[in-house]
Each structure stands twice: as C-alpha cells, then as structure tokens.
A = this chain, B = another copy of it.
Amino acid sequence: MDPKINEINGYLVSIFNDVLMIEERTLQTSQFKDVSIKEMHTIDAIGMYQEHTTSEVAKKLGITVGTLTVSVNNLVRKGYVNRVRSEKDRRVVKLALTKQGRLLYRLHDKFHRDMVRETLTEMSEEEAEVLMKGLLNLHSFLERTKEQLPE
C-alpha cells in the first residue's frame, strides 16, 4: 500500500504547484497583468452572485479582516471591486465585483473548468464517479482534521 500512498501524494503535491504556477503565469500574460494570484483568489471569494461582507470573505479566504481591507483597497483602485456600505447596518461593508471583476472571474472559472473537463475526457462515467468519491473522501478527512485543529 505504501508505494501507492507515495504516488498519490506526489501527484497531489505536483498538481497543487502546477495549478498555482499556471494560474499565475496565465494571469501575467493576459490583459489582467495587474492582478496577482492572491488577488485573483480574493476576486473568486467575493464571487459573482451575491454580495458578501468583508468578514465573510476574509473567513472564506482564511485571512484577517485587516489583510483583506488592504487587498480590497488595491482591487478597488485597480477597478475590479466595489465597496458598498450597507444601509441596514452602517458598520457593514458589502463587496461586489465591477464589470471588469466579473470578466476576470469568468476567465478564471473557465480555466478551472477546462482543467477538470480535460481530466475527465479519457475517463468513463464510472471512473469519473470513483475519482469524485476519492476526492470527496479526501475532502471530508480534511474537514474533520480542520475541526480538530488546536484553536
């Protein structure tokens, strides 16, 4: 069983690094040169469809609210994000993507989908099913681990 563990582990690590690297490089050679990969993930976390508060987005990204404030400052300056004070509760800031931001969001989303689609092309329905089950297993293990984390 151990060689299998090593092999799977190796693929995972390699996949992580490659995805990050490819995303970064793709951004830098696109019309969105002024967006870093971290900023891209912030844009992704803000999302297309609902408005999210600063706290919500920070939690989703696993960073502090202060860090997000700084990053959003840059994204607002660059024209990807809008800040809207909530009318209901004037302490709350809602974050939303600008037109530019939504364009970038869709591009990034497409990259992810293409990546997965390509992976599935040579697999049968059943194999795809099993891959999904494996990822689900891994995912739930990680969620459990997270809960047990000290603090």
- Asked whether A132 lies within 8 Å of B21 as measured between CB atoms, the reply is no
A4/B142 contact (C-beta < 8 A), A16-B16, A62-B17 known: no
Residues of chain B with a CB closer than 8 A to A127's CB: 130, 133-134
- Asked whether A14 lies within 8 Å of B139 as measured between CB atoms, the reply is yes
Chain B residue nearest to A7 (CB atoms) is B132
Question: Shortest CB–CB separation between residue A71 and chain B, in angstroms?
Answer: 16
- Asked whether B115 lies within 8 Å of A11 as measured between CB atoms, the reply is no
- Asked whether A112 lies within 8 Å of B150 as measured between CB atoms, the reply is no
Q: Interface SS of chain A: helix, strand, loop or mixed?
A: helix
- Assembly CA distance A33 to B100 (angstroms): 40
- Assembly CA distance A29 to B145 (angstroms): 14
- Asked whether B9 lies within 8 Å of A116 as measured between CB atoms, the reply is yes
Residues of chain B with a CB closer than 8 A to A6's CB: 113
Residues of chain B with a CB closer than 8 A to A141's CB: 115, 118-119
Question: Shortest CB–CB separation between residue A38 and chain B, in angstroms?
Answer: 12
- Flag whether A19 is at the interface (Cβ < 8 A): yes
- Flag whether A123 is at the interface (Cβ < 8 A): yes
Binding site for B on A (CB under 8 A): 1, 4-9, 11-22, 24-26, 29, 61-62, 112-113, 115-120, 122-123, 126-128, 130-139, 141-143, 145-146, 149-151
